[in-house]
Amino acid sequence: MKRRSILTCAVSGLLLAGCGGGSDSSSDVPASIVSPNVNGTPSLASVSTYQTSMMSKDIEECSKAFLVNSSCDLSVIKPLGVNQVNVTIEQIQERLVVSHQWMADSFIEALKEINDQDLLNLFKPLNSIVISYDIRPSFYTTSTASMYIDPKYVWRNKSEWDSIHKQEDYRNDFQTEFTFDKAQRYVHEATNDYVSYSNTYTPLRNESRGANHIAPGLFRLLSHELAHANDFLQEHDLTQIPSFGYIANYIHPLKKLNHELIERDPLTSNLLIKAAQIAFQGESMTNEIRRLTGEVAGDEFEADKAAAFYSYSSPAEDVAMLFEAYMMYKKYSALSDVAFVSIPQIEDYSCNDWKVQWGQRSRLSDNDVKDRAVFVASSILGKSELTIRAELASLPAVPEVLNVGQGWCASQKLMDVNPEARSVISGASMTGFSENARYLEDLEN
């Protein structure tokens, strides 16, 4: 049986993948647009700039440079935030490169719905933002100082869904020998409701989406990928960027935020680091990790200070997961659930057939995790640590335990809440959706 993986996110190096995922290839995709995505590298065969300008050709060529092991010439194009105090949506539009116009239209609509200047300013280190039918998973690369977005985060209707080239995230094959799986979700602190809509098209439950539905999930993805961009090209280095040479050559010797985090407060679990290299980067399975259980992994995780299991895949992902958790709480009052779960041994399974072996709600409430997140958020946003701590002041005092042995979907309703509070999340309610179906879809994100 080929199981459906619920592990989320992966990989580092020059290509820093955000949170990918996928489903089986769709026969509805016209043959004329189907092209291979090899090990997470899209073809970008049909992309062009969303807006026509004198820089259109340069922006498009820059966005594709990594495909031929090249970079972007600083004498031709510089990151959009150079000499900018605040980034505008109009400036982001100028750097958008897409395979279909609807992708840019939806992306811009969602940014307006999000309406967050902190998020917009995170675009400063980028040369381009690319959305193409064959990107999976999303990623950032220093080769081009650009971000590449899986279009499943922005589709609005069946026609748009059908224009996406769907395939499994190549990293799923790395995880077939594990005895446990990893699950994560964001739930509203007042209601326990899932914060983001599914990114999978389903005709009965998720046939169309508006900008208010797309915004929370896209915000999470952007927080993650833009953390990479601001990790590798920090604000103080952006202001000193030269007018010649290649962007990759400029970025390479800079001191990265993830290096500073290691010096200040590194992760300590060698066991989880080994496991993550196998699960997310494709290292060879070892007997030690093959025998590793979710219970033991959870004990290791709880004693350390990572925001998620994915944090162990690379120092850059450690930074991105901390920042993502902070941003989701600040923007949506969303608490991060993290768990290690059993793998269903039956063919016809539901979400609750994944049983919690270890889990926590509000991982960010762990003092050690919070301290690291405060440092990361302060560094990326240029705010004082006191300001960041004030924004996190309403977090639960400590993480809450998910019930061992409970199904993953059932564990979402951890606490009794006031029914009148269920209208808190404007535009993000999942009322009327099948419980099991919506979370199975989420687990692909």
pLDDT in tens, the chain (445 residues): 333 333 223 222 333 334 333 322 333 344 444 557 888 899 998 999 999 999 999 999 999 999 999 999 999 999 999 988 999 999 999 999 999 999 999 999 999 999 999 999 999 999 999 999 999 999 999 999 999 999 999 999 999 999 998 877 778 777 778 999 999 999 999 999 999 989 999 888 889 999 999 999 999 999 999 999 999 999 999 999 999 999 999 999 999 999 999 999 999 999 999 999 999 999 999 999 999 999 999 999 999 999 999 999 999 999 999 999 999 999 999 999 999 999 998 888 889 999 999 999 999 999 999 999 999 999 999 999 999 999 999 999 999 999 999 999 999 986 544 434 333 333 333 332 233 333 333 334 3
Q: Report pLDDT for 174.
A: 79
Q: Which residues contact 186 (CB under 8 A, 6 or more apart)?
A: 194, 195, 196, 216, 220, 328, 332, 334, 335, 336, 337
Q: What is the DSSP string of 384-403?
A: -HHHHHHHTTTS-SSPEEPP
Give me the pLDDT at residue 401, please.
97
Tokens 């030269």 identify what position? 242
CA dihedral sign of residues 205, 210, 216, 219: positive
List the chain domain ranges: 15-173, 180-442
CA 174 – CA 367 distance, rounded (Å): 32
For residues 343 and 179, give the distance between their C-alpha atoms in angstroms, rounded to a whole number. Answer: 7
Q: Which residues contact 52 (CB under 8 A, 6 or more apart)?
A: none
Alpha-carbon gap, residue 110 to 99, rounded angstroms: 18
Cα–Cα dist 391/372, whole Å: 15
What pLDDT does 39 receive?
Answer: 83
Task: Please report the DSSP string for 298-363 in residue order.
Answer: HHHHHHS--SSGGGGG-HHHHHHHHHHHHHHHHHH-EEEEEEEEEPP-SSS--GGGSBEEEEEE-G
Rounded to an integer, what distance in angstroms lies between the CA atom of residue 266 and that of residue 168?
A: 32
C-alpha angle 372-251-63 in degrees, rounded to nearest 5: 105
Which residues have C-beta within 8 Å of that of residue 290, sequence separation ≥ 6? 177, 178, 179
Structure tokens at 274: 């080994």
Which tokens hold the place of 358?
A: 């270890």
